Amino acid sequence: MKLNLLKITAFLLQASFVFISQNSLCQDGTIYPLETPKEPNAILLGTGGVENQPSSETWFKQWGDPMARNITTATLTPFLPDPEKANGAAVLVAPGGGYRWLSLGNEGWEVAEALAKQGIAAFVLKYRLHPTPETLEDFTQWMNRPRTAPNPTDEEKDKASPRGAFQLDLSNQLEDAEAAYAMMISRAKEWGIDTSRIGMIGFSAGAGLTMHSTLNSKSMKLAFIGPIYGGMGPVEVPADAPPMFNVIATDDFLFKGQFGVIDSWYKAGIPVEFHLYQNGGHGFGLGNPNRTSNRWFEAFTHWLTVNGFLE
């Protein structure tokens, strides 16, 4: 009897060690290979490929989050609410990743699921990306390369792009966003969408794409936008720009003490709500443990309600 108990105890300890080890592998900052997940609901947007792309789409995991890089084919994945809870509002969700990879779990699927629970039809945009090294080893070295750029001057801060440090050609990404919006319009009846209440939110580079779409698209008529921890530099606001909900934390490297985009919206006389959180860092998605920024999603849905977007 004692021998059997010892064997059982040893087995449980070993199983616990394996579970903890695997969980730790998922939660640290190391980059791990990941098998390409199935995306059965992803819809091709038909916007073309990417020039000079060295390899096909590949996936990896970092901080427990599934991420994709070298994306050459854009897709849109719907997350539709329970018809009994659906309120007609819709949100296009743009994950971030410096336009080099996409944090599809943390800043895409999880956010879309949370929106759907609130009765909002959500659509995750997997947009095309700029190329990264072909092998995971070379990509890891590229990710871990030293950053030696000097700190920006006050003048440079004032002139900084709302896209932050990512001064890249966004023509492919804008085309993907426009195609996604057009599909949401064309299938609005099927998906239960009120076309006058389609908004867009994005995270980090996705916030940059949200802002870029707002400032430059001729075809997208967004009802509201939500740039989440994006660049904060001033912009020229179009006369028909939508209301904006903006979130960033003071310990985010993109903050830099700037309020330019908020000031631009305010001076243009367009509704703007801004949440500057004490902590949260960058890339917190719906939230990280013990951070003040964890309540932003609740504030966002309250903002949507007060402004009549969820009627």
For the chain, domain boundaries: 31-132+156-306
**Mean pLDDT of the 91-114 span:** 97
Look up residue 193 and give its amino acid: I
How many Cα atoms sit within 13 Å of 196 on the Cβ side? Answer: 4
Q: What is the pLDDT of residue 160?
A: 45
**Mean pLDDT of the 256-262 span:** 95
Q: What is the pLDDT of residue 5?
A: 40
Say whether pLDDT at 305 is over 60: yes
**Mean pLDDT of the 23-51 span:** 82
List the structure tokens of 112: 């879309």
Q: Which residue has the tokens 């009802």?
A: 223
Q: By the 8 A CB rule, do 271 and 261 touch?
A: no
Instruction: Name the average pLDDT for the chain.
Output: 87
Check residue 44 and give left, alpha or beta (phi > 0: left; psi -120 to 50: alpha): beta
**Mean pLDDT of the 254-274 span:** 97
**Mean pLDDT of the 34-40 span:** 93
With cut-offs at 50, 70 and 90, classify the pLDDT of residue 154: low
Q: What is the pLDDT of residue 297?
A: 98
With cut-offs at 50, 70 and 90, classify the pLDDT of residue 25: very low
Say whether pLDDT at 55 is over 80: no
**Mean pLDDT of the 291-303 span:** 97
Distance of alpha carbon 223 from alpha carbon 287, whole angstroms: 25
**Mean pLDDT of the 169-192 span:** 98
Cβ-proximal residues to 89 (8 Å cutoff; 6+ apart), any chain:
119, 120, 121, 193, 194, 197, 198, 199, 304, 309, 310
What pLDDT digit, counting tens, does each position of 213-242 carry? 999 999 999 999 999 999 999 999 999 999
> In this structure, which topology does domain 31-132+156-306 adopt according to CATH?
Rossmann fold (3.40.50)
**Mean pLDDT of the 32-49 span:** 94
**What is the pTM assigned to this prediction?**
0.86
**Mean pLDDT of the 189-206 span:** 98
- State the angle between helix axes of 205-216 and 171-186 in degrees (0 to 180), rounded to the nearest 10: 70
Sheet holding 32-34, edge to edge: 32-34, 58-62, 65-69, 101-103
With cut-offs at 50, 70 and 90, classify the pLDDT of residue 138: confident
Q: What is the pLDDT of residue 27?
A: 52
- What percentage of the chain has pLDDT greater than the value 70? 84
β-partners of residue 247 are: 228, 275
With cut-offs at 50, 70 and 90, classify the pLDDT of residue 53: confident
Distances (CA, A) of 117 to 79, 83, 122, 228, 295: 10, 11, 10, 20, 16
Q: What is the pLDDT of residue 28?
A: 67
Say whether pLDDT at 8 is over 70: no
